[in-house]
Amino acid sequence: MGCASSTAAVDGEIIEETCRMRKKDNRTHRGLRDKEVARACNQDFMGTMTFLTQVQLFKRLPLDQHPMLASAFTPSWFRAGQDVIKQGDIGHAFFVIRDGEAAVYVSNGTVPTQLVATLRAGDYFGEHALLRDEPRDATVRALTDLHTFKITREKFTELGLVEQIAFAKRKAIVSRCSTRSKEPSPKTAEDRELIGCALKENKNLNMVLGNLFAQMVLDNRFVQLIDVCWREVVPAGTDVMQEGALIADFFYIVAEGSFEMVKSCNGLDGSSSLVTVSRGGSFGEAALLCLVPQSATVTAKTDAVVWVVDRHNFKNILLQASVNKIKEYVKYLDQVDILSSLLLDEKKAVAEAFVELHFVRDETIFQEGEPGETFYVLYDGEVAISKNHKEKVRLEASTERHMVQFFGQGALLRNEVREVTVTVISEVVKALALDRQSFNLLLGPLDDILPRTPKTPMTPHRPKATLEVRHSHQRSRGRIIRSELTRIGRLGCGGVGAVGFGQH
């Protein structure tokens, strides 16, 4: 019996020790699992932070705020075909795409829902929800399985990001659907040949676009333009263009019938007929290119049929610029003071909207007293600026010397008549043009953009003596006072103290 008791005691000690060992092993395994989980969480956090800080929108944030930014965003997943946000809903969150693709759709009254943009990794949407209570202006739908990062308005405000992040204006996403275009009409081989010949024989296009015109033929842009044309019937007596009007939405090619172009005579009563445009002729291209006032009234002499292309397609197809050209145009914009507050994405959008124009000796780019609607960047050639028929200054630009000039920038800000006349005095002048309507469709009124930067006045004042002309090489580069710098972040610490960087 004593042996039995001793054996039982030993067995109990063995069982107790076994239990202690198992508990210790479990704690060890749990500790290992906890470390693995913590390590995975840290890796996810670092991955999130690295990704978000590479997004163009957040690149200006100081380095010490990157962890705070990453912790504020939460991951969200959507299946292909699922709506992330819906047009008309009140929004409370902002999204950045981590992986996948999404489509942006807009419906505008009676206009059918249209696809206006495709978003990919690094793109963002829903930013208006961070700033104000207003309905979503578009629907964003996942095209593939979509991984996003999301932040709510409350968190965005709590972290003080409102004052540190400037969102690019993206009015273009909504405005594209307001273009008064129609569905392309079916075309026979004869129709396509007629439209193609009319484009190639248009003298204004040949003259204004210069060498670019031949390139457009080679890379099939004319074929694209033919594809989007639609057919319209015009009754006799109908005015399709009015002299002096700034409404320039369409380019016309005559398929049947004829039109009369009439221009008022200066200083005389009545009107004089300029020309009759019949089958194969075309009109409306000059005002579409740079939004100058219509130079004549065009009236259908007989019942007629025309092929029509809208302003948006006309410019986007004919005047597509290469990636390298866009980068070059952005550099030009960096030298325009009135546009200094634009973000990089906005400058790219403006650069893509530029129209490249060529002018010849003695040609007038714009005339004193006419409505000012277009801004010009001169990048090659020389022009004379005159007022009251007296030359005031000459501007020369050169691609070889990387010297550009610009004039007419006030047209982007206000609707005033031109104060000067700009005339070509070199053999050829090459310039980029952007009208106020295109700028407003892309980014909204310039007045709304200027207040972003405290140093930029609401209504920039430029003395009349400057004749609304700016020389790119006349920038002031004086001493910068430390108190004028805005702190951006800290680069590190060394033996002599901390090293930071700031923005002037």
pLDDT tens per residue, range 129-163 = 776 777 888 899 999 999 999 988 888 888 777 66
Yes or no: say if 251 and 350 are a contact pair by the CB < 8 Å rule. Answer: no
Of residues 277 and 264, more confidence is placed in 277
Range of the domain at 204: 189-317
Residue 83: the pLDDT is 94
Q: Are residues 253 and 312 in the same domain?
A: yes
Question: The tokens 């957040």 sit on which residue?
Answer: 58
97 located within any domain: yes
Q: What is the CA radius of gyration of the chain?
A: 32
Q: Which residues of 142-179 are buried (b: 16+ CB within 10 A; e: fewer)?
A: beeebebbbbbbebbeeeebeeeebebbbbbebbbbee
pLDDT band at 461 (very low <50, low <70, confident <90, very high): very low
For residues 301 and 201, membership in a common domain is answered with yes
Does residue 466 form part of some domain?
no
Last residue within a domain, chosen from 148, 163, 178:
163
Q: How confident is the model at residue 304 (pLDDT cuts 50, 70, 90)?
A: very high
Alpha carbon distance 275, 209 (integer Å): 23
Lowest mean pLDDT among 10-24, 64-78, 199-213: 10-24
In a domain, 323, yes or no: no
78 part of a folded domain: yes
Report how far apart, in Å, the C-alpha atoms of 149 and of each of 51, 74, 95, 160, 486 are.
10, 5, 6, 18, 29
CATH number of domain containing 270: 2.60.120.10
Model confidence pLDDT, tens digit, residues 53-86? 777 677 667 777 788 888 888 899 999 999 999 9
Distance CA 217, CA 222 (A): 6
| pLDDT > 90 fraction of the chain, expressed in percent and rounded | 20
Measured distance CA(304)–CA(289) in Å, rounded: 25
Q: What is the pLDDT, as a whole number, of residue 39?
A: 72
> How far, in Å, CA of 296 to CA of 245, rounded?
9
| Most confident stretch, 238-247, 323-332, 376-385 | 376-385
pLDDT of 478 > 60? The answer is: no
- At residue 79, φ and ψ (nearest 5 deg) are -85, 155
Let me know whether 96 and 204 are in one domain.
no
Domain boundary among 250, 282, 317: 317
Q: What angle, 0 to 180 degrees and rounded to 10, lies between the N-to-C axes of helices 221-228 and 311-318?
A: 160
Task: Return the pLDDT at 453.
Answer: 47
Task: Please count the other Cβ atoms lying within 10 Å of the Cβ belonging to residue 205.
Answer: 21
Q: Are 278 and 219 in contact (CB under 8 A)?
A: no
Angle at 198 between CA 194 and CA 201, to 5 degrees: 135
Is the domain of 362 the same as that of 297? no
Q: Are 199 and 311 in the same domain?
A: yes
Which one, of 372, 251, 225, lies nearest residue 311 by Cα?
A: 251
At 212 the three-state DSSP class reads helix
330 within some domain: no
- Amino acid at residue number 270: G
Helices (H) and strands (E) in the chain, counts: 14, 26
Model confidence band, residue 350 (pLDDT cutoffs 50, 70, 90): confident
Same domain, 298 and 262: yes
Check whether residue 206 and residue 299 sit in a common domain: yes
pLDDT at 455 over 60: no
Q: Is residue 42 part of a domain?
A: no
Same domain (yes/no): 439, 404? yes
Looking at 163, 180, 203, which one is the last position of a domain? Answer: 163
Q: Is 384 part of a structural domain of the chain?
A: yes
Whether residue 248 is found in the same domain as residue 349: no
Residues 298 and 384 in one domain: no
- The residue that leads in pLDDT, 106 or 501, is 106
Identify whether 31 is part of a domain. no
Name the band, by pLDDT with cuts 50, 70 and 90, for residue 421: very high
Percent of the chain with pLDDT over 70: 64
DSSP state, residue 190: H
Who's near 484: CB < 8 A, 6+ residues apart? 504
| pTM attached to this predicted model | 0.43
The structural domain count of the chain equals 3
Please give the mean pLDDT across all residues of the chain: 75
**Statement to judge: residues 310 and 343 lie in one domain:** no
Distance, CA of 401 to CA of 379 (rounded, Å): 10
Q: Name the nearest CA neighbour of 90 among 131, 58, 51, 54.
A: 131
- Mean pLDDT, to the nearest integer, of 39-43? 72
The answer to whether 307 touches 274, Cβ cutoff 8 Å, is no
Regarding whether 312 and 194 lie in a shared domain, the answer is: yes
How many Å apart are CA 301 and CA 308, to the nearest integer?
A: 18
